[in-house]
Amino acid sequence: MSELSDKSSNVVWHQSTVSRTRREEKNQHKSVVLWFTGLSGSGKSTLAHAVEDQLYQLGLHTFVLDGDNVRHGLNKDLGFNDQDRKENIRRISEAAKLMLEAGVITLTAFISPFKEEREMARSLMPHGDFIEIHCFCPLEVCETRDVKGLYKRARDGEIKDFTGISSPYEAPVKPELKIDTNALSLEESAAQVIALLRERNILPEKNN
């Protein structure tokens, strides 16, 4: 390994596993999973990206898993029946767990309407590393927004088992955070998440 020694004299050879702890030390912040849940149109993805942008500016390492990068990739073989929806959430949880292990603050933005599946996701992570954030917004407001036109299609019967219309949304009973995205601005909503991360010492000390 002459070349390595010559050019990088600070590199000491020893074979060991780079652990999550060592990654967190280098990153100077802990990793965590922020699990955003709520109706379609409740602002999950918008909020997750807004929070990520703030965290990026604070120097943290982050990643958002959402429909845009999961549904057409890792989970592109899955449909929307019960079994596939469950598998969808399972794979997202496992991907989030890998990201967590990689030292990345991982934000997931999926409706994830069923309590059982969110609890499954939580159970995969070490205690305290799963933060459930309920983006609360009344159905009628989400339906009025209908950014993607999905509610109309669901009402017209074009989409089956649509959460809030023809399939239940089981609201979290005790989420770590419940944000009223209808009453609060995006800035205020993001500030609530950041505040929780400060309380939990996820943010590095220099920013606390």
Contact residues toward its own copies (CB under 8 A) are: 1-4, 7-8, 10-18, 22-23, 26-27, 46, 49-50, 52-54, 56-59, 61-65, 69-70, 73-74, 77, 87, 91, 94-95, 97-99, 101-104, 124, 185-188, 190-191, 194-195, 198, 207-208
Active site residue 16: no
Which ranges constitute the DSSP H helices of the chain?
2-7, 20-27, 44-57, 67-69, 82-101, 115-124, 139-145, 150-155, 186-199
Cβ 124 to its own copies shortest distance, Å: 8
Q: In the complex with its own copies, which residue's Cβ is closer, 1 or 173?
A: 1
Is-contact 111 18, C-beta < 8 A?
no
Cβ 3 to its own copies, closest distance in Å?
6
Q: Which of 19, 112, 185, 189 is catalytic?
A: 112
Residue 147 to residues 20, 109, 150, Cα–Cα distance (Å): 39, 16, 8
Q: Is 149 annotated as a binding residue?
A: no
Shortest distance in whole angstroms from residue 140 CB to its own copies? 25
- Give the C-alpha distances (Å, rounded to integers) separating 84 from 104, 152, 182: 27, 23, 30
Q: What is the separation, in whole angstroms, between the first and last Cα of the chain?
A: 43
* Residues tagged active-site: 112
Known binding residues are 38-45
